[in-house]
Structure 1
Amino acid sequence: MLTCDFNVKLHTVQLDCSYKRSIRTLLCTFLIAPLVLTPASAFSSPSSNEQAPANLPLVEELIRFNDIPWGTAFLDKNTLLVSLKRGKLAKVDLKSRKAQFIEGLPSIINIGQGGLLDVAVYKEENALTEATSPWVYLTYSTTTPKSLTTALGRAKLNKDQLVNWETLFVADTGSDSTVHFGSRIAFDNDGHVYISVGDRGIRNNAQNLSSHAGSTIRLKLDGSVPKDNPFYHSENAKAEIWSYGHRNPQGLFYDRTTQRLWSNEHGPRGGDEINVIKKGGNYGWPTVSYGKEYWSLKSVGEGTWKEGVLDAKKEFTPSIAPSDLIVYRGEMFSEWNGDVISTALALRHINRLKFDSQDNVAEEKRYLRDLNERFRSIIQAPDSSLIVTTDSGKLLRLTR
């Protein structure tokens, strides 16, 4: 088992809340270049830092990977699981700054935007205690006889080994494209697991209910299909689909306080969206979009509104390329309670939105732009601090 130790110093920076937008045209869809792991370790030591004003959040660099840390999940208040895109799962002790690889993963295809994607931990009543043996859920790209696709599986964690692996769901997308796999995982209060699946590069499949592409999937925790899913009794639709009309949703979060499922997704050239996901909802892609074609100034689809299509709660033009989101509920940043916080890849910041009672955006702030990092994932820690990851491999903690 690989074990790594680090001597890490506090990294603090001044956060940029500017509304100034980049004048460059940035593409939301891209192929992620593979990163080379060093022979001795999957990690490297972080650098030293500077001091930030006391009234602004502090950014502490905890550990650095030579890979893209795609998703994170807490096992307990001091232990974090981190999924690495190239197909490894790390367990990080946040006190000692030590990390170990977890064995027992399924076969994972690291290609284009695919790889080991999200990781989530389910415990009864969401209890983060060491006494319970958790289910570890993973989404990842894999192959079928006809396609590359997104899959969901789970296993028990026994020390540093995944055991009793179960493949719960393999999306039927019919695509060999290397883009738009999604995928995030969320749990609701009623024993369901949700995952997001991208359109897999075939736009019209997002409006085709006989394909899982471009949809939010809802399952029971064991992978079986709930009978109250909106298309369960539809002959020509996939029973697992909860919502559809999505392009590439890489953020998914269930707010237990309001019992609402939030998602964000990449638009093409403009038109990134934040949505509240509703049962049977059609979110429009590619018929309805704020985005433009990559090769011209032509708008995608028929316009920005159509009867029967649910409106986004927020759209971003130019694209920020949102890759994860949470609804913050904590004491450390008490003024952020109930705000939607997204990571942004293209415009390289943490995006915070405050909504009013009518779900209109009342305030938008952008943080960490001075770091010039592609921010990949975000999670709220048990102490109400925030853990974010970057495509350069960094695991950062945001505190006051």
Structure 2
Amino acid sequence: MIHLIPLRSVRILLSVVVAACWLGCGNDRIDVPPSPYPISPDAFSVDTLAGGFTIPFGVAVVEEDEYYITDRVGQLFHYTAGALKEVNGMPAVATFGTPGLAAILHGGLMDVSLHPAYRDNGLLFASYLDTEGFARVSRFRIEDGRAVAFDTIFSTRQPNWSGNGMRIVWQDSTHFFLNVGNSDFSSAAHPVLYAQDMSSDAGKIHRLLADGSVPPDNPVFPGLTGPTTVWSYGHRDVQGLVYEPLTQTLLGIEHGPKGGDEFNLIKRGGNYGWPLFSYGIDYDGGPVSMITEDSAATFTVLPEHYWTVPTDYGGQALAPACLLQVDESNIADWDGYFLFGSLAYRRLMKYDRATGETFGLDLPGRVRTLAQLPGGDILALVERNDLSQSNGMVLRIGR
């Protein structure tokens, strides 16, 4: 268990030194495969702020050098003054994967977010899968290094053991969006239809008020008499959400099965098609889609962009985790782009929404979360590469 980690601010030149750090040694390391897209020769450098995480997943930025960070094994940390301290009093969470190995396939402590009026009310929000499999959001305060005044404001109606993602993004000071995944192994032969079922909260993006209640202007879906928390449905596993205040649009990046990862403009009441239609295929190489693209276009929202990396065996997913829209950063080559982490190819990627071009970046590792600091640097939470150790890191990326 981590109690205190001093700041390790070793300025490094990216390419060779960072790659060597992440390739590491030992029989359980995850080698970094070649980028499936051209490497963009962007100039940047990296500080390693903290290490010792298993799967660092969520980050809430208080100010330039103060953050709250979740580890999916169920720990919340406070980073300040160059040190990392665990916050006690967090709820027990479901963590499961390979027996004897802290490799979480689904579940755990997911995102952490500050209320927009945090400086006045001190409220934090956390999303997680509880020990019975229910996806929950709780709000709380921190006093003397401990989470207090815990209030669970949202819970799914059914257990959802495949409910990954669970990002929290604020629309304004009173509304936030939350995604709850549905990454079941659905196929055309054996469909799993929770994402299309309005009696299930899985495979949905939810919009809630800050106290967890239902906004009265949420959509009313056919067969229902009033609004629910559901904003959009037919999602497989949204792992990154961005809200653009100027255009008042919600954008999401979503895991397909084997290929068919999606970049979506999330519309109020929209059906995003899973598992009726997908540009990906099943893991066994068989079809996932139950209908054609033409049919899907008549009643679902097709993705604005999708990724399938061509292979000899039918295609490969990027497995996009997190999404950050970069503007006025300290890295001019990134301004105007979206950044995301590719779990499958274990590197940072950038995407040009205007042209549809995707580039690899010379930052290896399973990048789980990105955030832009007030001063323009970028935080990256990077999952371990050696499965026998807890060595996930928090990186600060700048000029």
Q: Match for 1:385: what amino acid?
A: D
Residues 1:140 and 2:123 are matched in the alignment? no
Residues 1:366 and 2:360 are matched in the alignment? yes
Look up the match of 1:21. Answer: 36
Between 1 and 2, higher relative CO (CA 8 Å, sep ≥ 6) is seen in 2
The structural deviation recorded for 1:248 is 1.0
Aligned residue among 306, 321, 324 for 2:322: 324
How many residue pairs are counted as aligned between the two chains? Answer: 350
CA 190–154 in structure 1, closer or farther in 2 if over 3 Å, else same:
closer
Matches of 1:7 and 1:213, distance apart in 2: 40
Look up the match of 1:39. Answer: none
Moved over 4 A (4+): none
- State the SS of the aligned residue for 2:348: strand
The structural deviation recorded for 1:390 is 1.3
Matches of 1:335 and 1:21, distance apart in 2: 20
Written as runs of structure 1 = structure 2, the 5 A alignment for 1:121-160 is 121-124=114-117, 132-144=120-132, 148-160=133-145
Kept in 2, the 8 Å contact 1:149–1:181? The answer is no
Look up the match of 1:187. Answer: 170
Look up the match of 1:78. Answer: 65
Superposition CA RMSD, Å: 2.6
Q: Match for 1:336: what amino acid?
A: W
- State the SS of the aligned residue for 2:112: strand
Greater shift after overlay, 257-266 or 296-305? 296-305
Matches of 1:287 and 1:389, distance apart in 2: 33
- State the SS of the aligned residue for 1:113: strand
Kept in 1, the 8 Å contact 2:347–2:366? The answer is yes
Matches of 1:154 and 1:339, distance apart in 2: 32
Look up the match of 2:305. Answer: 314
Residue by residue over 1:333-370, the C-alpha shift from the partner in whole angstroms, topping out at 9 and shown as x without a partner, is 345333222111111122212222xxx52x3221135x
Matches of 1:327 and 1:14, distance apart in 2: 23
Kept in 1, the 8 Å contact 2:214–2:227? The answer is no
Q: Match for 1:376: what amino acid?
A: R
Residues 1:382 and 2:365 are matched in the alignment? no
Structure 2 stretches of 5 or more lacking a match? 20-32, 97-104, 187-191, 310-316, 385-391
Residue by residue over 1:197-228, the C-alpha shift from the partner in whole angstroms, topping out at 9 and shown as x without a partner, is 01152731111111111000100011010011
Kept in 1, the 8 Å contact 2:35–2:360? The answer is no
Look up the match of 1:101. Answer: 86
Residues 1:69 and 2:56 are matched in the alignment? yes
Look up the match of 1:116. Answer: 109
Look up the match of 2:238. Answer: 249
Matches of 1:322 and 1:55, distance apart in 2: 20
Structure 1 stretches of 5 or more lacking a match? 23-53
The structural deviation recorded for 1:157 is 2.3
The structural deviation recorded for 1:142 is 1.2
Q: Match for 1:139: what amino acid?
A: S
Residues 1:347 and 2:345 are matched in the alignment? yes
Matches of 2:58 and 2:303, distance apart in 1: 24
Look up the match of 2:313. Answer: none
Matches of 1:192 and 1:163, distance apart in 2: 23
- In the superposition, the TM-score normalised over structure 2's length comes to 0.81
- In the superposition, the TM-score normalised over structure 1's length comes to 0.81
CA 365–162 in structure 1, closer or farther in 2 if over 3 Å, else same:
same
Greater shift after overlay, 207-216 or 309-318? 309-318
Matches of 1:236 and 1:288, distance apart in 2: 28
Look up the match of 2:387. Answer: none
Q: Match for 1:317: what amino acid?
A: T
Written as runs of structure 1 = structure 2, the 5 A alignment for 1:132-281 is 132-144=120-132, 148-175=133-160, 177=161, 179-189=162-172, 191-199=174-182, 201=184, 203-231=192-220, 235=224, 239-281=228-270
